[in-house]
């Protein structure tokens, strides 16, 4: 049950050019498209059909209508002279391609598109490759399959923790862990020796440690040794970390080494689940949160630590081609003065922010867990918000930030979509 995949969070229906309002400059192209003749791969087959226009090829295949600019088709040629298959890098100098280029001949069979260019060069594309890599195909694809959750959904899924030995020594254990992490944005490893050194070994199994102003492996208690509320015994509201970095840290690792007292449970909230509720209730507010840039700031002058960090970006970040959400930047502690939003927009932004905050604070969306020595928690800091209830007594935590690219790289090498 836990490994099922949901559809894209923000699916957008494919819109073709014919549904758009066209200016005078587009009239000639539209007329050409209307009178152009469709060619089929075989007289009796409608599996694949194509037609040429003034500057592009229109192709219908696998229930997808695609449009390819001629320059694009020349630039992406995978022939030996244009693309190095050993290094997976382009050899063709894109700047050398004539921006007005047109194919001299076009042929399509049941599986392949053939284009002959004016200089005699032949480009071949598999039709499935074109579907996968066309703009229209990308709009229908999910970059990162996820299961969105509230507390009840997560508990019912019974997502298993992974044993430390299996995680460290087998690809199967590592793959199970990464599958959990990619789908839910959180994952646990059990039976970890409760030391900072062993936690570091655990983290380095999947990624390089991202060194920040807090160092590589951080270790903290409630001694207020840094100018941050995390270094106290106070409760922390839900937030994502390092919003004041231009690229917030991708993954966070927590391991409680010791706690002699009460309280201190960790709060986890799926920010993407909350954002989906906003999208359903008020899509205009979701759009506003994805377009208005804000500053986040960290100013520290404690002991020998002197820092002034500023990160800029919207609360919600989406891929422009399919509107898929990939990052939430939410931290009311570190949000700077709002001076990037004009007067006539700021009140609407506050309304949208309140709608999102209401969803994030719904009790049914809160997953509370008690971190204990031996159980390490990995959090997708681009998706899942974390917080903490107040606590008493002595409490030691260690952890680190991981480079997101390396974690996703490890997952892809194990055959996972990431």
Largest CA distance in the chain: 80
The average pLDDT across 115-140 equals 94
Q: Any idea what the CATH number is for the domain that residue 21 is in?
A: 3.30.2020.30
Q: Tell me, yes or no, whether 299 lies in a domain.
A: yes
Give 4 or 41, the one with higher predicted confidence: 41
Phi, psi dihedral angles at 163 (to 5 degrees):
-70, 140
Average pLDDT of every residue of the chain: 89
Give 129 or 139, the one with higher predicted confidence: 129
Give 33 or 348, the one with higher predicted confidence: 348
Local confidence band at 38 (pLDDT 50, 70, 90 cut-offs): low
Alpha-helix residue ranges (DSSP H) falling in 187-323: 196-203, 271-281, 283-291
CA dist., res. 278 & res. 283, Å (int): 7
Local confidence band at 22 (pLDDT 50, 70, 90 cut-offs): very low
CA dist., res. 134 & res. 179, Å (int): 27
Q: Tell me, yes or no, whether 12 lies in a domain.
A: no
CA dist., res. 372 & res. 190, Å (int): 10
Q: What is the pLDDT of residues 358-380, one digit of tens each?
A: 999 999 999 999 999 999 999 99
User: For residue 131, what are the domain limits?
Assistant: 17-139
User: The dihedral of CA 281, 285, 290, 296: what is its sign?
Assistant: negative
**Strand, helix or coil for residue 173:** helix
Please tell me the total number of residues recorded for the chain in this structure.
418
Same domain? For 198 and 78 the reply is no
pLDDT at 26: 34
Residues 6+ apart with CB under 8 A from 137: 64, 66, 130, 131
The average pLDDT across 395-409 equals 96
Query: In this structure, what DSSP letter does residue 53 have?
Result: -
Q: Tell me, yes or no, whether 307 lies in a domain.
A: yes
The average pLDDT across 91-98 equals 97
pLDDT at residue 71 is higher than 80? yes
Residues 6+ apart with CB under 8 A from 192: 164, 198, 199, 202, 255, 374, 375, 376
CA distances from 33 to 14, 18, 60, 285 (A): 19, 10, 14, 37
CA dist., res. 140 & res. 13, Å (int): 8
Query: In total, how many domains does the chain have?
Result: 2
Cβ contact 187:177 at 8 Å: yes
Q: Any idea what the CATH number is for the domain that residue 178 is in?
A: 3.60.130.10
Least confident of 89-98, 344-353, 390-399: 390-399
Angle at 142 between CA 138 and CA 147, to 5 degrees: 175
The average pLDDT across 299-314 equals 94
pLDDT at 229: 62
Local confidence band at 41 (pLDDT 50, 70, 90 cut-offs): low
Same domain? For 321 and 191 the reply is yes
Cβ contact 47:59 at 8 Å: no
Q: What is the pLDDT of residues 174-231, one digit of tens each?
A: 999 999 999 999 999 999 999 999 999 999 999 999 999 999 999 877 655 545 566 6
Same domain? For 124 and 161 the reply is no
User: The dihedral of CA 60, 61, 67, 72: what is its sign?
Assistant: negative
Rounded-to-10 torsion of CA 149, 190, 403, 157: -20
pLDDT at 230: 63
Q: What is the pLDDT of residues 253-305, one digit of tens each?
A: 999 999 989 999 999 999 999 999 999 999 999 999 999 999 999 999 988 99
CA dist., res. 32 & res. 23, Å (int): 15
Q: Tell me, yes or no, whether 381 lies in a domain.
A: yes
The average pLDDT across 405-409 equals 97
Task: From 213, 407, 209, select the one nearest 299 (Cα to Cα).
Answer: 213
Give 371 or 7, the one with higher predicted confidence: 371
pLDDT at 227: 52
Please name every residue paired with 308 in a beta bridge, in sequence order, or none if there are none.
Answer: 299
Q: Tell me, yes or no, whether 41 lies in a domain.
A: yes
Question: What pTM, to 2 d.p., does this model score?
Answer: 0.83
Question: And the tokens for 344?
Answer: 């006539």
Query: In this structure, what DSSP letter does residue 8 have?
Result: P
Alpha-helix residue ranges (DSSP H) falling in 189-342: 196-203, 271-281, 283-291
Q: Tell me, yes or no, whether 1 lies in a domain.
A: no
pLDDT at residue 1 is higher than 60? no
**Looking at 139, 164, 184, which one is the last position of a domain?**
139
Q: Tell me, yes or no, whether 54 lies in a domain.
A: yes
Same domain? For 230 and 353 the reply is yes
Residue with tokens 């047109």: 102
Same domain? For 280 and 375 the reply is yes
pLDDT at 19: 33
Q: Tell me, yes or no, whether 258 lies in a domain.
A: yes
CA dist., res. 159 & res. 73, Å (int): 44
CA distances from 258 to 198, 221, 264, 323 (A): 14, 10, 11, 43
Same domain? For 359 and 225 the reply is yes
Instruction: Give me the DSSP letters along 84-139.
Output: ETTTTEE-S-GGGS-TT---SEEEE-SSEEEEE-TTS-EEEEEHHHHHHHSHHHHH
Same domain? For 334 and 304 the reply is yes
pLDDT at 225: 54
User: The dihedral of CA 123, 124, 125, 127: what is its sign?
Assistant: positive
Same domain? For 62 and 90 the reply is yes
Same domain? For 286 and 386 the reply is yes
Same domain? For 233 and 98 the reply is no
């Amino acid at each position: 049950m836990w490994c099922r995949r949901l559809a894209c969070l923000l699916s957008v229906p494919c819109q073709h050019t014919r549904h758009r309002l066209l200016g005078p400059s587009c009239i000639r192209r539209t007329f050409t498209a209307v009178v152009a003749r469709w060619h089929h791969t075989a007289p009796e087959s409608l599996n694949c059909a194509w037609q040429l226009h003034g500057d592009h090829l229109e192709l219908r295949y696998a229930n997808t209508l695609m449009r390819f600019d001629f320059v694009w088709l020349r630039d992406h040629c995978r022939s030996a002279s244009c693309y190095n298959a050993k290094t997976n890098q382009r050899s063709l100098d894109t700047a050398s391609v004539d921006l007005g280029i047109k194919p001299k001949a076009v042929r399509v069979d049941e599986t392949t598109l053939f284009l002959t260019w004016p200089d005699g060069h032949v480009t071949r594309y598999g039709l499935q490759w074109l579907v996968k890599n066309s703009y229209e195909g990308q709009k229908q694809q999910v970059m990162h399959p996820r299961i969105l959750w509230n507390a009840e959904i997560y508990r019912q899924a019974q997502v298993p923790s992974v044993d430390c030995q299996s995680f460290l020594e087998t690809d199967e254990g590592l793959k199970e862990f990464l599958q959990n992490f990619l789908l839910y944005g959180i994952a646990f490893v059990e039976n970890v020796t409760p030391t900072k050194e062993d936690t570091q070994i655990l983290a380095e199994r999947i990624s390089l440690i991202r060194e920040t102003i807090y160092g590589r492996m951080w270790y903290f208690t409630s001694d207020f040794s840094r100018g941050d509320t995390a270094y106290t015994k106070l409760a922390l509201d839900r937030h994502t970390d390092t919003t004041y970095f231009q690229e917030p840290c991708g993954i966070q690792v927590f391991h409680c080494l010791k706690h002699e007292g009460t309280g201190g449970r960790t709060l986890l909230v799926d920010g993407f689940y909350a954002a989906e509720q906003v999208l359903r209730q008020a899509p205009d507010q979701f759009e506003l949160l994805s377009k208005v840039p804000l500053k986040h700031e960290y100013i520290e002058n404690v002991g020998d630590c002197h820092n002034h960090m500023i990160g800029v970006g919207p609360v919600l970040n989406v891929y422009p081609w399919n509107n898929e959400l990939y990052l939430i930047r939410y931290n009311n502690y570190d949000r700077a003065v709002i001076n990037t939003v004009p007067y006539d927009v700021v009140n609407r932004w506050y309304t949208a922010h309140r709608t999102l905050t209401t969803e994030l604070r719904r009790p049914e969306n809160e997953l509370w867990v008690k971190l204990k020595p031996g159980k390490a928690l990995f959090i997708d800091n681009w998706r899942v918000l974390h917080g903490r209830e107040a606590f008493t007594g002595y409490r030691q935590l260690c952890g680190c930030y991981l480079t997101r690219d390396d974690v996703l790289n490890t997952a892809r090498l194990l055959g996972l979509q990431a």
